[in-house]
């Protein structure tokens, strides 16, 4: 009987641990009644469709010439996860905002689905500038970019070669290149990845190319776990609570929930050749703002970017916040700081 009760209590505890943590105002699926939403599709330079949600203040007219902000989603996510929230909150402050799906993800074009191509991700940001800069209600000289998580590194990559991006902000940024080359080098739960570790992954991906070239099944990698156990690391639990619970779970039409956040193995290794912080100082004198949570496992990437960037720049640390906290916890996200940054610098 004691064993039965213990088993029952463990089941209750497990169920409780899987429930979505909606503290600190978690509101990923926020819907604003103060802005106008329009789904838009435009071509990138390679004639691929990029789809986004355009949010406009209700007072927007064709001669408004408003400031605009492009918002990029976390790596492996879609615009409905975090990006829409940020875009709406900023549109409420008077900006025209555009939350985009990166190529191969969400409603944007690209095959195979969930493929990794960092240069094309950066191109999508530039294509979004093309689109916004040709709208009559946008001042093309006042367009900024905001990248969340992995999109922070893609936005920086784009801004280095596209001076039309006048102000650059990142939130909970991941340097997707360094994360795939070395892992999380400053986080105690993970030992740094060695060159030999990396070579094992590269060899597996290279062999998998033969499988897929000859019609075999696509293999996916990394991303968020689908099951929590007593041994699940804290970082995976953090992502699980967003991507695998009603708090942030979203599956685009035609996609599969099993593939959400998981890139293809054969393409994910392209991140090894991705160095977004090289020449980051050349973005100056355009201003940069790096926002990270005080307790975020990814904080090292914002620290590094800030150190390497030219002036003007600012590193803004959010007290008592982790990495995923800044995806949707509106009581922690410093929207006022972002509003002030873009208002002054666009």
Burial of 45 (0-12, 13-18, 19+ CB in 10 A): exposed
pLDDT of residue 18: 66
pLDDT of residue 189: 67
Q: Point out the residues of the chain with pLDDT beneath 50.
A: 1-17
pLDDT 10s digits, 35-58 = 999 999 999 999 999 999 999 999
Which DSSP category does 101 fall into? Answer: P
The CB density around residue 316, as the number of other CB atoms within 10 Å, is: 16
Give the domain ranges of the chain: 24-184+270-345
Name the token pair of 144.
Answer: 């900024």
pLDDT 10s digits, 59-116 = 999 999 999 999 999 999 999 999 999 999 999 999 999 999 999 999 999 999 999 9
Which DSSP category does 26 fall into? Answer: B
pTM: 0.94
pLDDT of residue 256: 82
Whether residue 145 contacts residue 171, with contact meaning beta carbons closer than 8 Å, is answered with no
Which residues in the chain belong to E strands, given as ranges? 35-43, 49-57, 66-72, 96-100, 138-148, 165-171, 288-293, 313-318
Closest-CA residue to 313 (of 168, 174, 171):
168
pLDDT of residue 255: 80
Three-class secondary structure of residue 146 per DSSP: strand
Q: Which CATH superfamily is domain 24-184+270-345 in?
A: Alpha/Beta hydrolase fold, catalytic domain (3.40.50.1820)
Question: Which helix (H) or strand (E) covers residue 120, if one does?
Answer: helix 118-133
Spatial neighbors of 66 by CB under 8 A, at least 6 apart, are 56, 57, 60, 94, 95, 96, 137, 138, 139, 142
Which residues in 149-183 belong to E strands, given as ranges? 165-171
Spatial neighbors of 256 by CB under 8 A, at least 6 apart, are none
């Amino acid at each position: 009987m004691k064993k039965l009760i213990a088993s029952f209590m463990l089941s209750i505890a497990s169920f409780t641990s899987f429930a979505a943590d909606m503290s600190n105002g978690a509101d990923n699926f926020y819907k604003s009644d103060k802005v106008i939403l329009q789904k838009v599709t435009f071509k990138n330079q390679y004639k691929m469709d990029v789809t986004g949600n355009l949010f406009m203040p209700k007072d927007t007219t064709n001669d408004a010439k408003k400031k605009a902000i492009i918002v990029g989603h976390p790596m492996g996510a879609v615009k409905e996860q975090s990006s829409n929230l940020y875009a709406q909150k900023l549109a409420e402050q008077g900006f025209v905002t555009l939350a985009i799906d990166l190529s191969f993800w969400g409603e944007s074009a690209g095959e195979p689905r969930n493929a990794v191509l960092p240069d094309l991700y950066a191109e999508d940001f530039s294509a979004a500038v093309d689109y916004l800069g040709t709208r009559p209600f946008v001042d093309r000289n006042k367009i900024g970019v905001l990248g969340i998580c992995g999109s922070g590194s893609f936005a920086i990559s784009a801004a280095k070669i596209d001076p039309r991006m006048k102000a650059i902000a990142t939130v909970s940024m991941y340097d997707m290149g360094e994360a795939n080359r070395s892992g999380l080098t400053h986080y105690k739960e993970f030992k740094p990845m060695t060159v030999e570790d990396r070579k094992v992954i590269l060899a597996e991906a290279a062999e998998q190319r033969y499988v897929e070239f000859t019609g075999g099944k696509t293999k996916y990698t990394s991303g968020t776990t689908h099951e929590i156990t007593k041994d699940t690391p804290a970082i995976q639990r953090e992502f699980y609570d967003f991507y695998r619970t009603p708090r942030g779970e979203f599956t685009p039409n035609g996609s599969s929930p099993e593939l959400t956040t998981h890139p293809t193995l054969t393409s994910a290794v392209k991140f090894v050749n991705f160095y977004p912080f090289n020449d980051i100082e050349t973005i100056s004198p355009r201003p940069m703002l790096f926002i990270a949570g005080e307790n975020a496992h990814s904080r090292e990437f914002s620290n590094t970017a800030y150190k390497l960037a030219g002036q003007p720049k600012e590193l803004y640390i959010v007290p008592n916040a982790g990495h995923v906290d800044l995806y949707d916890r509106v009581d922690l996200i410093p929207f006022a700081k972002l509003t002030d940054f873009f208002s002054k610098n666009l």
